[in-house]
Structure 1
């Protein structure tokens, strides 16, 4: 068994009006990956996409910061995270093992901006899909970062904020918090 933890801190807080924060814990056994995420002060009554991001080649992913705001609009959007965080890899949704990312089956924050998520994932199924997508069965959790996304549609975003994914716009994909995953045992 291996345990991993991420302290999740706010991104774009000055622009979205709330400083989302929380924790993510991962327990990896021979048969399962248990994911537990608890978030506070996220945009209320809003669905929040959540994933781990990383580089398929195993390079260390890092949390994006102000230096990644390439267009200088004051927002760190999804596209700007890629240079240091890599690509979206595994969703924390109703079935992470399927690695089906663009949909509306993610946690929704309550009226106070809180949500808690726990999922026990069949490891072999996740590894099969991970290998198909990235060429390896090794999740390398300690080389990944967690991102929490999503702001209300009512938030006015400048046209420079990128992040359209399928039918989902920048309100859905805008990062609001992130944390580096570290092994803790």
Structure 2
């Protein structure tokens, strides 16, 4: 019996672009083939020469996550910051850095965009390893990619943000965690 690979894709669109003057876009592809999860993310028009934290977000209880929009700007400062995404998108789950299966969010191993705001990320991960860590953290060994959203974060520290823009509950700087793009992960037939 031949088992076909499962494929998922997210079309990633700008969030906070009007306030930041950048309009990132790109795509994320996820392929599960036997025990390998391959993640490939290509982004354009992000902040140049900037490290971009990337993750999929979701709800540990299995609810379907949705990408945040300007409607989530509950304090009306013109920005949708990370805490404001949580009611519709859930919590940060899996990072796309040098070791996604370790699920260690705060690292300096995320991609850095080039002078044109472009970057490409590709990583193969043991599905068993990531499912084991996911179960330890979220009490579920299935990733449920079709119920997740992807976020691209990060702007240069030189950007002036109002004090109302929050980093996160983990007290990271809002320049690191401000979402600049998001997309819904969907199964590809």
With the length of structure 2 as denominator, give the TM-score of the two structures: 0.96
What is residue 161 of structure 1 aligned with on the other side?
165
What is residue 40 of structure 1 aligned with on the other side?
44
What is residue 126 of structure 1 aligned with on the other side?
130
Structure 2: any 5+ residue segments left out of the alignment? none
1:63 equivalenced with 2:67 (yes/no): yes
CA offset digits 1:125-166 (Å, max 9, x no partner) = 100100000000000000000000000000000000011465
1:82 equivalenced with 2:86 (yes/no): yes
**In structure 1, what is the Cα distance between the partners aligned to 2:131 and 2:169?**
24
**In structure 2, what is the Cα distance between the partners aligned to 1:34 and 1:13?**
29
Does the 8 Å contact 1:6/1:180 carry over to 2?
Answer: yes
> After the TM superposition, which segments of 4 or more aligned residues of structure 1 sit over 3 Å from their partners?
164-168
CA offset digits 1:41-94 (Å, max 9, x no partner) = 000000000000000011000000111101000000000000000000000000
> How many residues end up aligned between the 2 structures?
185
Does the 8 Å contact 2:83/2:169 carry over to 1?
Answer: no
1:9 equivalenced with 2:23 (yes/no): no
Does the 8 Å contact 1:41/1:112 carry over to 2?
Answer: yes
With the length of structure 1 as denominator, give the TM-score of the two structures: 0.98
Specify the SS of the correspondent of 1:25: strand
**In structure 2, what is the Cα distance between the partners aligned to 1:136 and 1:113?**
36
Q: How does 1:130-145 map to 2 (within 5 A)?
A: 130-145=134-149
